């Protein structure tokens, strides 16, 4: 009798475990679907906003790359992005973002830690290209990001900008950007002056012009792995790791 009871208990336990696993998988799938939908909708909105803003700014912004523009430490070209990670990493991730873009914030919060882990392990080199088309705060934030790169706080400031992103209807202020620097350990008069004076404003404009030339569509976030656009954005750390491994295998 006790043996039959034990078998029955085992079956019930396995059934409960399987049910729990199915429910967990369903919840994970639902979260992934919500994130994908949110990214798709927000990215589509960003494309429209980009077209409008670029049209409005075309008559006032510089229309050619400023070859003499000051660039943050580590940036290799007047319109280049800010790199993080080993120069010899087998995979390069180019990430085009706008610090006022909600889809970019969702992406950064979901996958930023994984990207950083891959960079820390030497598997990935990340190059951040800060676009600036959503609002005036986009330009200020991109400039401040460059100032933080100069202070050796690239990843930390990137995370802080997205974690403290204001609504799209609001533009982040210089004083708020300086305070974010304090939060990540930047306490430098040079940083403050760089933020207040737009020390990398010409570089920010160069990156925007480069984006118009290099991107199939001006939308954020846009990712490239070893020069190939990622048309289906990853929604989970596992998907991102798989894409990086595939890119490494492809050479």
Q: Is the pTM of this model over 0.95?
A: no
Q: Is the pLDDT of residue 234 over 60?
A: yes
Higher pLDDT, 133 or 4: 133
In this prediction, residue 243 has a pLDDT band, given cuts at 50, 70 and 90, of: very high
- 88, 123 Cβ separation under 8 angstroms: no
Which residue's structure tokens are 């492809």? 250
Pairing of strands 222-225, 82-84: unpaired
Q: What pLDDT is stored for residue 59 in this prediction?
A: 37
Domains of the chain, residue spans: 2-250
3-state secondary structure of 221: coil
Residue for token digits 């010899």?
88
* Residue 134 three-state SS: coil
Confidence of residue 217 (pLDDT cuts 50, 70, 90): confident
Can you list the alpha helix ranges (DSSP code H) found in 164-200?
174-183, 189-197
Calpha distance 246→168 (Å, rounded): 35
What is the per-residue pLDDT for 23? 60
Least confident segment among 38-42, 153-157, 220-224: 38-42
First to last CA, the chain: 62
Report residue 18 as tokens.
């399987």
Residue with tokens 């403290």: 164
Strand 228-229 with 124-131, pairing: unpaired
What's the CATH architecture for 2-250? 3-Layer(aba) Sandwich (3.40)
What Cα–Cα distance (Å) separates residue 133 from each residue in 11, 47, 53, 171, 174?
59, 10, 6, 12, 17
């Amino acid at each position: 009798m006790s043996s039959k009871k034990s078998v029955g208990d085992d079956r019930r336990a396995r059934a409960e475990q399987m049910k729990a696993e199915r429910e967990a998988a369903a919840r994970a799938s639902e979260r992934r679907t919500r994130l994908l939908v949110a990214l798709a909708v927000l990215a589509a909105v960003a494309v429209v906003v980009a077209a409008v803003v670029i049209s409005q700014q075309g008559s006032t912004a510089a229309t050619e790359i400023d070859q003499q523009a000051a660039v943050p430490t580590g940036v290799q070209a007047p319109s280049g992005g800010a790199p993080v990670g080993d120069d010899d990493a087998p995979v390069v991730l180019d990430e085009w973002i706008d610090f006022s873009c909600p889809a970019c914030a969702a992406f950064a919060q979901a996958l930023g830690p994984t990207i950083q882990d891959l960079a820390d392990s030497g598997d990935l080199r990340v190059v951040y290209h800060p676009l600036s088309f959503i609002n005036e705060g986009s330009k200020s934030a991109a400039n401040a990001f460059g100032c933080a790169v100069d202070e050796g706080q690239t990843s930390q400031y990137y995370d802080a900008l997205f974690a403290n992103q204001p609504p799209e209807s609001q533009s982040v202020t210089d004083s708020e950007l300086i305070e974010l620097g304090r939060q990540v350990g930047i306490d430098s008069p040079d940083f403050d002056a760089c933020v207040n004076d737009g020390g990398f404003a010409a570089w920010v404009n160069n990156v925007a012009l480069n984006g118009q030339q290099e991107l199939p569509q001006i939308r954020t976030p846009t990712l490239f792995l070893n020069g190939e656009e990622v048309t289906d954005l990853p929604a989970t750390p596992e998907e991102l790791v798989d894409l990086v491994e595939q890119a490494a295998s492809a050479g």
